[in-house]
Structure 1
Amino acid sequence: MTHNVVFIGRGWVVTDIWLPNLQRAGISRFCCIDPFAADPAECSAPFRTVRNLDELQLHDVDVAIVASPNAKHAEHARAFLGKGVSTIIEKPVCFSSDEALRLGATSAASSAQLLRSCASTFDPHFEEFRRLVDGHGTARIQSVTAHWIRGNGIPSSRWLTEAQHAVAGSSLDLGWHLLECILALLDYPKMKLTNARFSFLESADGAPGRFASWYGSQSAHSLALVDVDIAAELKFRTVTGTDVAMKTAWQANVAHDEVRLSVAGQGFELDLSTIFGMSRNGPARPHIYGIVDGKALEFELPKKKPGEAHTRMIQAFVDAGFDSGCVKQDIRQLDALASASAQIVDHHRIWRARVS
């Protein structure tokens, strides 16, 4: 059992997701690297807090979890991997194929494990949907449509809403989760972004943006500092000819949050309606419906707890001894994810330059 975990970053994903789930899995010793800590000595248990990597005794560290601002993920992960520390990287892992391959090469050279946080693929509703899709064969899929609309406003954390930290907005924050699911369904082909539309400081239907009540402190941030997309519509085409459409939004005035995944292929159409993450405001009836060989099917999905996918993922990582192969992760998958995200970032940068 691994008992020594270091976090880089101290946001809610650490305090509300990783820490309690690791504790339930039997891990008891934690350290946190927080360069912004006013006085590390005053930070509360169960963390021992330091301000930088040099203050750590790395021979006592088994696993590092990188949960710093998006723009720093690859840099911080390489620092740990280069010192032989197995590392889990929160989404988005990196922003280019070059970064993905460098992470893989650093991991291989040091024999340290490289894992990515991918909770949505551990979601029980998605797993059931994937089982049905896999039964028809990846080669038969002609199109995939995915959206994640998150109601009740814009996250109040500058880590997600300022480009210098976040790189992009909803298109990466929510979009990386959707990319994980889309690419898992298609077995991780490379994709080309053919069209991108972003919305700035308003929801997709034009309603004024406001901060979310579900994230952070509304007084800690200002709408004037939001310089990333709060909604995006993206279209891809895979190297194998599958059309992919993706929509994301931090939207203030929808009745409930929703994740929707639709797959169409030769002889079948399947559609999943659910919610991911920590939301308690999902559809009243999460379900799968579709038409398979001319016959309609529809069934409701069992209720799940907010954060259940993260719990399942973290337990799987612990049970696997934080071995990437045992949880079926590899650099080819990360390369496909990074290639797609790089194209989103490039289009986002052009759009920001035009609207700023």
Structure 2
Amino acid sequence: MTGRRKPPVRVAVIGLGWAGRTIWLSRLRSHPAYELVALVEPDPVLRASVAREAGGTAVHASADRLSADAVDLAVVAVPNHLHAPVAAELLTAGIPVFLEKPLCLTSAEVDRLAAAEAAGGATLLGGSAAGYRADVAALRELTGSLGTIRHAELSWRRARGVPAGAGWFTARHLAGGGALVDLGWHLLDVARLLLGPLAVEQVAGSVSADFVDGRSFRAAWREDDPVDGAADVEDTAHAFLVTADGLSVGLTAGWASHEALDRTVLRIEGSEGTAELRCTFGFSPNRLDGSRLSHTVGGVAAPAGAPAEPVGAEYDRQLDALPALLADPASRGRAIEDARWVIDVIERVYASAPAGRPLSGVGR
């Protein structure tokens, strides 16, 4: 006897900028587990453009038009400074939320989300897709053979990839920070996935902005609107973390660099060997060809085999997982816990960065 097929998750997408349209809208429309029931976009020009292609899907100017009776999940992909306020409003109204990273910009915003989740009885789910990559899963499996983990190096460095986002990405009061908040959030999520819970005792960091105002370093593939004016966020951040049990983690997040290609490198060093994954996270077309996973023991390096998959497959895989997470009572509070750890590390990195050193250099 076959089980009855579950009804689709009725989903609303809030925020129809690049991420909302390019990452989520098309995937939700084609995924059999979801029914797209509403779109929300405050910008009238963008809302009118989307409405022409929406078919019978309701299109609203504000999220307060949504109700828990009609929406099972709200996918929130608004600019960073609106993440916590919009998600908190929906959670308080009893609407579960899938919130794009960064889930918050400050520790105070984590408290606000926790209170809203408790008040509305709805679940907050976190959107950070890097952990759903097949090559990261292969690295995680290999990490189990490395003995006691001593050190990890996690870097995501773009050659050219400064996002404009209609201006808000490079304005600190709207974005919360630069490359550390944007790319570093993914890296910190992956760190916990690969290494388990990390009680970070020591944090040191530095930031710089040698490329962020240069037009030639913008992320052309995002199709953002051109923005003039000086940025006040970093394009590159370096951090070094040490845990209570002596494990160290090096972290590098860069929107732009002198590299030829955008590349992500995850290196895990243990008492019994080292594993390294070289790939490119995200959607940039200026990427490494495929993924390379290697395992080194006693001076001998051998390929470990990294699964090949299309660009963006991790987002499909994350959508596959969301209905079960939404239905699982144990999911309540998990995104809050994860976000609290990540934003604490990010705040400590920024606080440790030398205040007297100029953020911008001469590499325009």
TM-score above 0.5, yes or no: yes
- Opposite residue 34 of structure 1, the aligned amino acid is E
Cα distance in 1 for partners of 2:332, 2:190 equals 15
Partner of 1:305: 310
Q: Which moved more, 1:2-11 or 1:225-234?
A: 2-11
Cα distance in 1 for partners of 2:273, 2:329 equals 33
1:1-356 mapped onto 2 (5 Å cutoff)? 1-26=7-32, 27-38=34-45, 40=47, 43-46=51-54, 48-136=58-146, 140-157=148-165, 158-192=167-201, 194-202=203-211, 210-217=217-224, 220-222=226-228, 224-251=229-256, 253-284=258-289, 286-292=291-297, 296-321=301-326, 323=328, 325=330, 329-346=334-351
- Quote the offset at 1:240 in angstroms: 2.9
- Quote the offset at 1:211 in angstroms: 1.8
Cα distance in 2 for partners of 1:349, 1:76 equals 33
Identity in percent: 26
Q: 1:174–1:236: structure 2 CA closer, same or farther, 3 Å change rule?
A: same
- Quote the offset at 1:172 in angstroms: 1.2
What secondary structure does 2:103 align onto? coil
- Quote the offset at 1:330 in angstroms: 4.8
The answer on whether the counterparts of 1:151 and 1:251 sit within 8 Å (CA) in structure 2 is yes
The answer on whether the counterparts of 1:190 and 1:339 sit within 8 Å (CA) in structure 2 is no
**Structure 1: gaps (5+ residues):** none
Q: Which moved more, 1:12-21 or 1:292-301?
A: 292-301
Using the size of structure 1 for normalisation, the TM-score is 0.87
The answer on whether the counterparts of 1:190 and 1:340 sit within 8 Å (CA) in structure 2 is no
What secondary structure does 1:214 align onto? helix
**Structure 2: gaps (5+ residues):** 1-6
- Quote the offset at 1:349 in angstroms: 11
- Quote the offset at 1:274 in angstroms: 1.0
The answer on whether the counterparts of 1:193 and 1:343 sit within 8 Å (CA) in structure 2 is no
What secondary structure does 2:142 align onto? helix
The answer on whether the counterparts of 1:153 and 1:252 sit within 8 Å (CA) in structure 2 is no
Using the size of structure 2 for normalisation, the TM-score is 0.85
- Opposite residue 24 of structure 2, the aligned amino acid is W
- Give CA deviations for 1:151-194 in whole Å, capped at 9, x if unaligned: 22422322322212211111111111101101212213232462
Q: 1:197–1:326: structure 2 CA closer, same or farther, 3 Å change rule?
A: closer
What secondary structure does 1:142 align onto? strand
- Opposite residue 246 of structure 1, the aligned amino acid is L
> How many pairs are equivalent?
350
- Opposite residue 149 of structure 2, the aligned amino acid is I
Cα distance in 1 for partners of 2:112, 2:354 equals 23
